């Protein structure tokens, strides 16, 4: 089986997209929690560190999984097929994938929820 040189850019694009499909751990919470009044900064910092670790453990089983959003699949198949199929496949993939929400966003929401619960349980003030 021979692959034409014209198909090479599409194949490389698909490989590049697939390489970026594993989900990653959030770098931290997406909200700010402040210490309760009169809590020393050293204690708040230690609690923050502990709650970040708690949140990482809470989402750990969701991170690193290989996932392909529908938009990636549709766009890749359409792009490889060439011609009119690339527009159709890409369009269907984008239409399907846009509304679903990303796995990364779901992991971030779960991370934030675990972090916020932990910090609130320690008496810190959640965002308002």
* Tens-place pLDDT, residues 8-24: 555 545 544 444 556 78
Percent of the chain with pLDDT over 90: 42
Is residue 70 domain-resident? yes
- Higher pLDDT residue, 37 or 15? 37
74 part of a folded domain:
yes
Residue predicted with more confidence, 2 or 92:
2
Distance between CA atoms of residues 65 and 76, nearest Å: 20
Residue 126 lies in a domain: no
Which pTM was predicted?
0.58
Residue 98 belongs to some domain of the structure: yes
**Displacement of CA 14 from its chain's centroid (Å):** 19
Domain hosting residue 80, numbered range: 5-121
The per-residue pLDDT for 63 is 82
Mean pLDDT across the stretch 74-99? 48
Tell me how far apart the alpha carbons of residues 65 and 79 are, in angstroms, rounded to a whole number.
25
Q: Which residue has the higher pLDDT, 126 or 4?
A: 126
Alpha helices in the chain, H assignment, sequence order: 8-19, 41-59, 70-81, 84-98, 103-121
Structure tokens that stand for 126 in this block = 């959640």
CA–CA separation, 65 vs 22, rounded Å? Answer: 5
Q: Is residue 96 part of a domain?
A: yes
DSSP string, 50-61: HHHHHHHHHHGG
| Token pair recorded at residue 53 | 């670790």
Tell whether 61 is covered by a domain.
yes
The answer to whether residue 105 scores a pLDDT higher than 60 is: yes
What domain count does the chain have?
A: 1
Q: Does residue 60 surpass a pLDDT of 70? A: yes
What's the rounded Cα separation, in Å, for the pair 81 and 20?
A: 22
73 Cβ contact partners less than 8 Å away, ≥ 6 residues apart: 93
pLDDT-derived band at 126 (thresholds 50, 70, 90) equals: confident
Query: Among residues 104, 89, 102, which one has the least CA distance to residue 30?
Result: 104
């Amino acid at each position: 089986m021979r692959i034409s040189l014209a198909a090479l850019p599409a194949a490389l694009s698909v490989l590049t997209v697939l390489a970026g499909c594993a989900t990653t751990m959030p770098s931290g919470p997406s909200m700010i929690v402040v210490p309760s009044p009169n809590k020393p900064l050293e204690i708040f910092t230690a609690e923050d560190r502990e709650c970040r670790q708690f949140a990482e453990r809470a989402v750990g089983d969701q991170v690193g999984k290989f996932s392909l959003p529908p938009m990636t699949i549709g766009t890749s198949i359409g792009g490889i097929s060439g011609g009119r199929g690339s527009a159709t496949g890409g369009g269907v993939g984008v239409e399907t994938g846009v509304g679903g929400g990303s796995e990364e966003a779901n992991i971030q929401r779960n991370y934030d929820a675990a972090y916020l619960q932990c910090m609130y349980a320690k008496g810190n003030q959640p965002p308002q």
